[in-house]
Structure 1
Amino acid sequence: MNRFKGVVYRAHHPNWNFGPMSGDGAVHHGGRFSPVGLPALYASLRPETAWLEAQQGFPFKARSLVMCAYDVDCEGVLDLTTEAGQEAAGTSLKELACPWEDRREQGSATWRLSAGLRAKGCAAILVRSFAPGAEQFDVNIVFWRWSGDAPSNVRLSEKSLRQFRKIKIE
């Protein structure tokens, strides 16, 4: 596992503006690497990838989104974009790309993978995006542990904070 330091992006539906750091969307709906009930913060290394991720299921009309940037300095990040990282985790690109939503009842392979990685102290993973239209260079980061402090520091960037202060949901 390595340290990741940089800026990541997330596209929020305006209804989630009250909690851009919460991970509550994953708690309520689950995700590829988080079963329902598990907080997870899904972000992308490029804003374009965050947009692709947020538009899944809306192929003909883009929906309103708020793009946020996060400053990250996080230890315990496993890179699953490489064969070496996949081998270290005991997984494969095929398993990572599995149709997890079709396997909610029995639990997806990616949920079992994330449980094992979390048990070994993994705070986050880097993984290819499997959103429609994503290319090999479209990479996501999924946090299972994050806070405003080391070793899992993830903070809303100052620019994004100013943006959120201007938004008023009526």
Structure 2
Amino acid sequence: MYRGLLYRALNPVYAREPLSGRGAQLYGGRFNPKGTPALYASLTVMTALREANQVGSLQPTTLVSYDAEVERVFDSRDPTALAAHDMDGDALGDADWRDQMKAKGEARTQAFARRLAEAGYQGLLVRSFARGAGVDDMNLVLFAWGSGSPSRLTLIDDEQRLARL
């Protein structure tokens, strides 16, 4: 179970759709192949900024936060649980996931996340592998989310600022 705040530093192109997971769906991510939506969120603002700007200089970003309550979250910090799902910490951080996706259609980490989703998990708690991130910089990758249980995600935008973009 995860209950608390989450953060994302969005490319401004997707700022009008902060709950869509569309960028990940279009391009694929470490834990989702192209065509499969996923929402990559961080437990801290700084981790979100690192995630959004992994290459080159800091680019324009739109920082958003969510109030989240996710019932079934797989905690990748547990090596025994990882091994039970044919995964380990080194494979989670494998920098070749894009090459695997191109060659096989699905990277090992993407297959792992797919199996978790099929087993009923709504999200994966995993360390950030962005440049400058440490072992305590954590992300929550959501496979399923919506406005209610079991995986509630509510954008915090009381002043409707994103509607003005």
* TM-score for both structures, normalised by structure 1: 0.90
State the match for 2:64 in structure 1: 68
State the match for 2:35 in structure 1: 37
Name whichever of 47-56 and 90-99 sits farther off: 90-99
Name whichever of 88-97 and 36-45 sits farther off: 88-97
- 1:38 Cα deviation after fit: 0.2
Structure 2: where are the runs of 5+ without partners?
none
Counterpart Cα distance in 2 of 1:37 and 1:76: 23
Structure 1: where are the runs of 5+ without partners?
none
Counterpart Cα distance in 1 of 2:84 and 2:125: 13
- 1:87 Cα deviation after fit: 3.1
Listed as ranges, the matches of 1:109-128 within 5 Å are: 109-128=108-127
State the match for 1:139 in structure 2: 138
Q: Which amino acid aligns with 1:136?
A: V
How many residue pairs match? The answer is 162
Identity %: 34
Counterpart Cα distance in 2 of 1:31 and 1:149: 25
- 1:34 Cα deviation after fit: 0.1
State the match for 1:12 in structure 2: 10
Name whichever of 81-90 and 25-34 sits farther off: 81-90
Counterpart Cα distance in 2 of 1:158 and 1:79: 28
State the match for 2:22 in structure 1: 24
Listed as ranges, the matches of 1:28-107 within 5 Å are: 28-58=26-56, 61-98=57-94, 99-104=96-101, 105-106=103-104, 107=106
Q: Which amino acid aligns with 1:124?
A: G
What secondary structure is seen at the aligned counterpart in 2 of 1:101?
A: helix
- 1:117 Cα deviation after fit: 0.9
- 1:158 Cα deviation after fit: 3.5
Name whichever of 78-87 and 121-130 sits farther off: 78-87
- 1:14 Cα deviation after fit: 1.0
- 1:157 Cα deviation after fit: 1.3
Counterpart Cα distance in 2 of 1:8 and 1:89: 26
